[in-house]
Amino acid sequence: MIKYLFKISVLILTLIFPAKADKIQVFEFTDIELKNLKVKKVRGSDNKTKYLIGSNENGNFLKAIADNSASGLGKELKIDLNLTPIINITWKVEKNLDGIKENTKKGHDFAGRVFVIKKTGATPLSNRAVNYVFSSNNDVGKNWPSPYTKKSIDNVISTTKKHMNVWVTVKANVKEDFKKFHNLDINEIDGIAIMSDTDNSKMLAITYYQNIYFSAE
């Protein structure tokens, strides 16, 4: 009887206090989710990027068509970086932005990017961000402050110079990157956003996003 009561107690505690997840899915990429995501149109851009839901043998994906356009999709969420500091991104660029200078205002467009955001003040202008990008012209490992704000760092983790029109999965340690790029010791993030944009270059980019999540390693 004592063993039985002990097992029941453990089961109840497990239901009330579940084990910490070692994988946090960020997007489901469903039609319902797409309707509920916050759309952020870039100031000065006349057109919004078109986002569509699709699926393949690996599940749902988001297709972005940026034709002289710029807008992002985001959500507010807390991610404990002490438990799951690694962001994982699977994506593919079908049409890139060959020839632009991405670290200049005139060429500051990316076929694919995922923003990770930390609130550091009372207004959105005070937020800090690490912008993980699928570059069309730079090598993996290159990084620079956005030409529009030093509070956002562009960090190349994929490039069409090596992976053009093929799915690629990459990962990065967000906790370490905020320390490296912003000199901030953070324990959690406050939001994440996807954006494909071509408003500066006036070009066309087509990109697919799939299976974005945080993990322990």
- Is 31 contained in some domain? yes
- Is 7 contained in some domain? no
The model's pTM is 0.87
Residues 6+ apart with CB under 8 A from 90: 58, 167, 168, 169, 209, 210, 211, 212
pLDDT higher than 90, residue 194: yes
| 62, burial (CB in 10 Å: exposed 0-12, middle 13-18, buried 19+) | buried
- Is 11 contained in some domain? no
Q: How high is the pLDDT of residue 106?
A: 95
Instruction: Tell me which H or E stretch contains 33.
Output: helix 31-36
Instruction: Calculate mean pLDDT across residues 47-65.
Output: 96
pLDDT higher than 50, residue 17: no
- Is 27 contained in some domain? yes
Tokens of 139: 């090598």
- Is 201 contained in some domain? yes
What's the total number of domains in the chain? Answer: 1
For residue 190, give the nearest of 83, 26, 77, 37 by alpha carbon. Answer: 77
Confidence of residue 169 (pLDDT cuts 50, 70, 90): very high
Question: Mapping DSSP to helix (H, G, I), strand (E, B) and coil, where does residue 97 land?
Answer: coil
Instruction: Calculate mean pLDDT across residues 109-138.
Output: 92
- Over the stretch 23-36, which tens digit does the pLDDT of each residue have? 999 999 999 999 99
We report the CATH number of the domain holding residue 108 as: 2.60.120.260
- Is 6 contained in some domain? no
- Is 203 contained in some domain? yes
How high does pLDDT run on average in the chain?
89
- Is 2 contained in some domain? no
Confidence of residue 38 (pLDDT cuts 50, 70, 90): confident
Q: Which domain holds residue 157?
A: 20-215
